[in-house]
Structure 1
Amino acid sequence: MKIGELDIHWLSGGKMAFDGGAMFGVVPKALWFKKYPANEQNQIATDTDPMYFNIEGKHVLIDAGIGINRFTEKQKRNFAVEKESFVIQDLAKFGITPLDIDYCLMTHLHFDHATGLISVQNGELVSTFPNAKIITSSTEWEEMKKPNIRSKATYWKENWEQIEKQVTTFSQKMEVLPGVSMYHTGGHSAGHCIIEIESKGERAVHLGDIFPTHAHLNPLWVTAYDDYPMDSIFAKERLFQKWMDGQTWFLFYHDAYYHAIQFNENGEIIRTVEKKGSE
């Protein structure tokens, strides 16, 4: 899709299935199931699709997918991994190699977003995008390196040790490139952040995992994975009020049915970019 002069492309970062109850927290299944279907194991389909765009000659990724050959067989079963990453192949369609990536903008560093930053080469773990600046919030980076008893299940040392020298952090806000800014929100994780993209008067926002699928439109519908759910709720209320204007595109990383949606001020869908093959 186009945002002003920018072409935004979704890359296939992998397909997983998360427990529906975990993805919708305290919301009863009788409610969320009407908006997002589940399989017989009560799992919902979720993609892990990074976005790629070129701005002022710089090649930019938003998040990184789940990578290739990074999960054990047990992890594949537990996380219901249906397909691993095709990010490298998708970039190749545009004549882009991993060496060409200049920036990786990370909404947060949970394994389903950050594992693709690291690749296996000749039995060793190496940076997938060795020339890129990897940008995340300072709070997120500190917890990545020193996770607590809860977060250590999703912040893997194998996902940061090889990229440490590439990481640039910010506190509350950072304009990475003209028209591309990152903001710290917290909520899903203490260091979670969102990304705003503006070009020629058009705008898109990527709310990461505080708005993981279109079915999480209700501000109160947050995942059980959110470490600070009230922060997610307050951030959604604030950001929805600001950007549900009938013009701003909301971009999705996890949604299995939509790449992007525009909402009016009443939260009604007015335009969509649907995924191929979605129903």
Structure 2
Amino acid sequence: MDQLKIGDITLTWLKGGMTHLDGGAMFGVVPKPLWSKKYAVNEKNQIPLRTDPILIETGKKNILIESGIGNGKLTEKQKRNFGVTEESKLEESLREKQLHLSDIDIVLMTHMHFDHASGLTNDRGSVFPNATIYCSEKEWKEMRNPTIRSKATYWEKNWKGIEDQVVAFEHELEVFPGIRIVHTGGHSFGHAIVLIESKGEMAIHMADLMPTHAHKNPLWVMAYDDYPMDSIREKEKWITFGEEYGVWFTFYHDAVYRAIQWGEANEIHRSLPIQKAGKG
């Protein structure tokens, strides 16, 4: 499994599934001749997108960012529409780390769209029985009362059974020393990012503000974004900050890189490519 050290904190990417979504939707108004130079596309105009949770080990707490697409959550029609070629193997991944689902202390949900939240529940209830689940107050409210647009991705079966575990925050919250979840909006009304700091090193998990390395340009936002101008504003803010301080940017969806440090002139300074066995 791919790992990254941030000071005393270890990040490990677990196997949460693989989807293939329409490239035009994933890059919005950006013309295909531009984005297709930066990211692979198949004959159906779909691009590969992993859904791999990140395990954060602090030495005291086991924390997950996102939960994967779950197993058995999608109908055959949904699997076809979303190009699902691999469902979650989260439990098996944790077992490789000598951990169990019950060992997860905290789950950080940047937002609750189905491809991030389907791993939270199963037919028995909560997948992570001992975890506190954090998401923004705005996201938690819309999850349970979706709009005509968002009801396609906020599913009742992904929140029923975890109500007592969810802690909603307003602006930002430090869930463990050096680990913060910060509301940004943009992709969804309640979308958030995660900041990880230890021993003078830092990683920023931009979630679906920057789903892949090819979305680094602040103007390259998804057609799926509910509030694209907010996405652009927040991307400019955090990418500028990250480049100035040399932070790692980590990815949940990228099928090429787990994390990247960008240097001057948009050059990749350091990167953590996905191991071949992890591509699904």
Same fold (TM over 0.5): yes
- Tell me the equivalent position of 1:36: 39
Cα deviations across residues 104-157 of structure 1 (Å, max 9, x unaligned)? 0001000000000012xxxx3411001100000000000000000000000000
Deviation at 1:71, TM superposition (A): 0.7
**Residue 146 of structure 1 corresponds to which residue in structure 2?**
145
Residue 19 of structure 2 corresponds to: 16
Q: Distance in 2 between matches of 1:267 and 1:112?
A: 29
Q: Does 1:256 align with 2:265?
A: no
Match of residue 70, structure 1, among 61, 66, 73: 73
CA offset at residue 266 of structure 1? 3.4
1:55 Cα deviation after fit: 1.6
Q: Deviations over 1:155-201 (max 9, x none)?
A: 00010011111000100010010000011000000000000000111
The whole-number CA distance in structure 2 between the counterparts of 1:266 and 1:241 is 12
Match of 1:221 in 2: 220
Q: CA deviation at 1:257?
A: 0.2
Residue of structure 1 in register with 2:185 after alignment: 186
> Is the counterpart of residue 212 in structure 1 residue 211 in structure 2?
yes
Tell me how far apart the structure 1 counterparts of residues 161 and 265 of structure 2 sit (CA, whole Å). 45
Aligned to 1:172: 171
Q: State, as a whole percentage, how many aligned pairs show the same letter.
A: 54
Distance (whole Å) between structure 2 residues aligned to residue 269 and residue 172 of structure 1: 31
Match for residue 45 of structure 1 among 35, 48, 57? 48
**Which sections of structure 2, spanning at least 5 residues, go unmatched?**
none
**8 Å Cα contact 1:13-1:49 kept in structure 2:** yes
Q: Distance in 2 between matches of 1:78 and 1:207?
A: 25
Residue 270 of structure 1 aligns with an amino acid whose one-letter code is H
Distance 1:267 1:252 in 2: 17
Q: In the alignment, is the contact (CA less than 8 A) between 1:246 and 1:264 conserved in 2? A: no
1:200 equivalent to 2:203? Answer: no
Counterpart code for 1:103: I
Check conservation: 1:11, 1:91, Cα contact below 8 A: yes
Q: Deviations over 1:47-106 (max 9, x none)?
A: 001000222411100000001111111111111100000111000111111111100000
Q: 4+ residue stretches of structure 1 with deviation over 3 A?
A: none
TM-score (norm: length of structure 1): 0.96
> Which has the higher mean CA deviation after the structures are superposed, 262-271 or 71-80?
262-271
1:100–1:131 contact (8 Å) kept in structure 2: yes
Q: CA RMSD in A?
A: 1.0
Do the aligned residues in 2 keep the contact of 1:245 with 1:263 (CA within 8 Å)?
no
Q: Which amino acid aligns with 2:186?
A: G
- Aligned equivalent of 1:89: 92
1:101 is matched with which residue?
104
In structure 2, the residue matched to 1:136 is 135
Amino acid at match of 2:111: H
1:268, distance to aligned residue in structure 2 (A): 2.0
Taking the aligned partners of 1:201 and 1:12, their CA distance within structure 2 comes to 29
CA distance in 2, matches of 1:54, 1:34: 36
What code does the residue aligned with 2:256 have? Y
User: TM-score under structure 2 normalisation?
Assistant: 0.96
Amino acid at match of 2:121: I
Counterpart contact for 2:53–2:66, Cα < 8 Å? yes
Opposite residue 46 of structure 1, the aligned amino acid is: L
Taking the aligned partners of 2:44 and 2:57, their CA distance within structure 1 comes to 40
- Report if aligned partners of 2:125, 2:160 keep a CA contact under 8 Å in 1: no
